Amino acid sequence: MTQERRRFFRIDDEIAISFHALGEEYGGEDNVDSHEFVDLQQEFHVSLEVQIRQAMVDVRAQYPKLVPLLDLMNQKINLLHASEALVEDAPVLRKANLSACGVAFTWGEDLAINQQLMVSLYLQPNHELVRSTAHVAGVDPNPDYPAQSDEPYIVRLDFDDMHNAFQEVLIQHVVQRQGRQLRKKLDDQI
């Protein structure tokens, strides 16, 4: 019996998600400059976020009482950045199964397999923005519908060509969240 080997850890989490289908209007000649500017701006933001996380490790070791304040300030800045970046549909908060290579969540509409999407994830609680193109890898009936869920489908998206900086933020989020979940599970057993 072969055992599935995953490239990245998967966690159950809560994220805010928005996406739109990539069509002819995306990447059209008249939009190239504005998309490149937005991509560079987001890349810079993600790079700063990674640097902040690395610096927070040092601050946490030297000034542990200062860390909650700095975390709150960073969350506020991320929230402001996220609200400025909302050019697509407003994100929807969803429970999701998340990894650095894809996401699964309940959804109200059936989506076409292999449909190309531009996906924005807002990682909680810091409201960190992660963007990527993705394709619909699967759509299954939701076994909890309608008794425990209002959404009739479970949608699985695989990320395509995610920028390394976004992937690093996502990997760090998944690892930190998994660590918190494991600590909570151990604490609950004691």
Q: List the chain domain ranges.
A: 11-189
In 3-state terms, what secondary structure has residue 165?
helix
Interval 118-153: pLDDT, tens? 999 999 888 888 999 999 999 999 999 999 989 999
d(C-alpha 18, C-alpha 132), whole Å: 11
Closest listed residue to residue 119, CA positions, set 93, 158, 150: 158
The superfamily (CATH) of domain 11-189 is predicted glycosyltransferase like domains (2.40.10.220)
d(C-alpha 53, C-alpha 3), whole Å: 35
Q: Give me the mean pLDDT over the 95-117 stretch.
A: 94
- Please give the radius of gyration of the chain, using alpha carbons only, rounded to the nearest integer: 18
| Tokens representing residue 153 in the block | 């489908």
| Tokens representing residue 74 in the block | 């960073």
Amino acid at 53: R
Closest listed residue to residue 129, CA positions, set 101, 152, 163: 163
What pTM was estimated for this model as a whole? Answer: 0.67
Interval 74-86: pLDDT, tens? 877 776 666 555 4
Q: Give me the mean pLDDT over the 46-72 stretch.
A: 82
Amino acid at 99: S
Burial classification of residue 150, based on how many CB atoms lie within 10 Å of its CB (0-12 exposed, 13-18 middle, 19 or more buried)? exposed
Predicted pLDDT of residue 37: 47
